[in-house]
């Protein structure tokens, strides 16, 4: 067998393994009627966006119910509910109920926050599985609030994520499409926030492939890759960002078994937690692939410390760097 054949078979084995170990995989969403997304003038206020998109979610829920899609209707009804302690309904900058669906939700107050985390999800994140993504965003927001009240989290489901059990999850095609959307969004987000607001980009699993292709401006101070299968790039300095680049993987994360190879456009190459990639390593503890943002996890504490960053006026921020023994555990 040739080297190329061995690599192809290894990558295929990785895909099959993912299908076995991922406990929840989104089935293809049935066609569900939904309203045309709201359009906004550049001068539209954040609050006007929230109000219009909340109405759109309500209308999408009614349309789904009338079409007999009660499962989707209930999920949308849950999406519209406010987070605990939040006044009014949920805060969505964007909502599109068509197909897999897209949504960009804000937890916290963009007007007062000076620390903002933007979460970019991985495969199988759709409107039908949105609650899992939202739970992680809420957990991070609650953790940030305990230490830094002027913080907000943006849950960015701004692209059609690939299915875990699909050939698209092995290529960067979806990531390249998503990066075209994410980069301009980050620029607009900077315009919605105060001049002192610092943005961190937190990228999970296939989301790390997206972030590795996303150009970021000076407002983005950190790009964090966690649970990553690789980025398709040989090193962090090839990423189109001037931000600090972090990487971490929990010792319980099955993604460590994915081969770090790249052949004929398949696979994502260098492991981001490999020193050769050049990222700063953070302590992720025993996190499994879906556990990084769960309350009480060491990974959640590390991510929160990266987002909060240095105190005003301080210098020499090093963040939650992983010890050699912990990093060795992440390869186990």
- Give the integer Cα–Cα distance in Å for 35 and 66: 13
| Contacts of residue 13, Cβ cutoff 8 Å, sequence gap at least 6 | 259
Q: Which of 4-13, 30-39, 51-60, 75-84 shows the highest mean pLDDT?
A: 51-60
Neighbours of 288 (CB within 10 A): 18
Task: Give the confidence band of 258 by pLDDT, cuts at 50, 70, 90.
Answer: confident
Q: Are 261 and 282 in contact (CB under 8 A)?
A: no
Residue 267 tokens read as 């696979």
Residue 311 DSSP label: P
Q: Residue count of the chain, please give it.
A: 332
Which among 172, 155, 127, 132 is positioned nearest to 27, based on CA atoms?
127
Q: How confident is the model at residue 318, as a pLDDT?
A: 62
Task: Give the confidence band of 312 by pLDDT, cuts at 50, 70, 90.
Answer: very low
- Give the integer Cα–Cα distance in Å for 285 and 249: 8
Which among 72, 52, 49, 50 is positioned nearest to 62, based on CA atoms?
72
Angle at 84 between CA 208 and CA 132, to 5 degrees: 35
What dihedral do alpha carbons 76, 116, 179, 25 form, nearest 10°?
-40
Q: Are 174 and 124 in contact (CB under 8 A)?
A: no
User: In whole angstroms, how large is the CA radius of gyration of the chain?
Assistant: 19
Q: How far is CA 115 from CA 220, 296, 317, in A?
A: 10, 21, 15
Residue 173 tokens read as 């095609």
For the cut 90, the answer to whether the pLDDT of residue 236 exceeds it is yes
For the cut 80, the answer to whether the pLDDT of residue 331 exceeds it is no
Long-range Cβ contact pairs of 77-86 (< 8 A, separation 24 or more): 78/131, 79/103, 79/127, 79/130, 79/131, 79/134, 80/54, 83/107, 83/138, 83/141, 84/138
- Give the integer Cα–Cα distance in Å for 28 and 102: 15
Residue 258 tokens read as 């994915």
Average confidence (pLDDT) over 127-151: 97
Tens digits of residue pLDDT in 69-96:
999 999 999 999 877 666 678 999 999 9
Average confidence (pLDDT) over 28-47: 86
Task: Give the confidence band of 23 by pLDDT, cuts at 50, 70, 90.
Answer: very low
- Give the integer Cα–Cα distance in Å for 66 and 55: 17
pTM recorded for the entire structure: 0.86
- Give the integer Cα–Cα distance in Å for 185 and 204: 18
For the cut 80, the answer to whether the pLDDT of residue 308 exceeds it is yes
Average confidence (pLDDT) over 220-225: 98
Tens digits of residue pLDDT in 157-207:
999 999 876 667 678 789 999 999 999 999 999 999 989 999 999 999 999
Q: How confident is the model at residue 262, as a pLDDT?
A: 61
Tens digits of residue pLDDT in 119-137:
999 999 999 999 999 999 9
Signed CA dihedral, 307, 129, 251, 232: sign only:
negative
Q: Is 323 helix (H, G, I), strand (E, B) or coil?
A: coil
């Amino acid at each position: 067998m040739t080297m190329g054949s061995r690599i192809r078979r290894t990558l295929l084995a990785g895909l099959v393994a993912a299908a076995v170990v991922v406990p929840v995989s989104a089935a293809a969403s049935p066609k569900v009627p939904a309203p045309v997304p709201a359009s906004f003038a550049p001068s539209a206020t954040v609050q006007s966006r929230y109000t219009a998109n909340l109405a759109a979610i309500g209308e999408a829920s009614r349309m789904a119910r009338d079409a007999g899609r009660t499962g989707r209707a209930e999920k949308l009804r849950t999406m519209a509910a406010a987070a605990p302690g939040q006044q009014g309904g949920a805060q969505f900058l964007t909502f599109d109920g068509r197909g897999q669906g897209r949504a960009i939700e804000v937890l916290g107050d963009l007007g007062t926050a000076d620390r903002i985390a933007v979460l970019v999800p991985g495969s199988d994140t759709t409107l039908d599985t949105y609650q899992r993504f939202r739970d992680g965003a809420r957990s991070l927001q609650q953790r940030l609030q305990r230490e830094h009240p002027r913080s907000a989290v943006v849950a960015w489901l701004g692209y059609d994520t690939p299915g875990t059990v699909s050939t698209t999850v092995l290529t960067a095609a979806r990531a390249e499409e998503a990066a075209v959307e994410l980069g301009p969004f980050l620029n607009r987000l900077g315009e919605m926030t105060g001049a002192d607001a610092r943005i961190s980009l937190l990228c999970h699993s296939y989301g790390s492939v997206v972030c590795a292709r996303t150009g970021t401006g000076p407002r983005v101070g950190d790009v964090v890759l966690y649970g990553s299968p690789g980025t398709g790039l040989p090193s962090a300095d090839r990423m189109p960002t001037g931000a600090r680049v972090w990487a971490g993987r929990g010792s319980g994360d099955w993604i460590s078994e994915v081969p770090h190879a790249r052949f004929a456009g398949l696979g994502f190459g260098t492991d981001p937690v490999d020193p050769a990639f050049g990222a700063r390593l953070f302590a992720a503890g025993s996190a499994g692939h879906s556990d990084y943002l769960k309350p009480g996890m060491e990974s959640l504490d590390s991510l929160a410390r990266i987002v909060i960053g240095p105190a005003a006026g301080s210098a020499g921020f090093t963040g939650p760097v992983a010890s050699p023994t912990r990093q060795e555990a992440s390869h186990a």
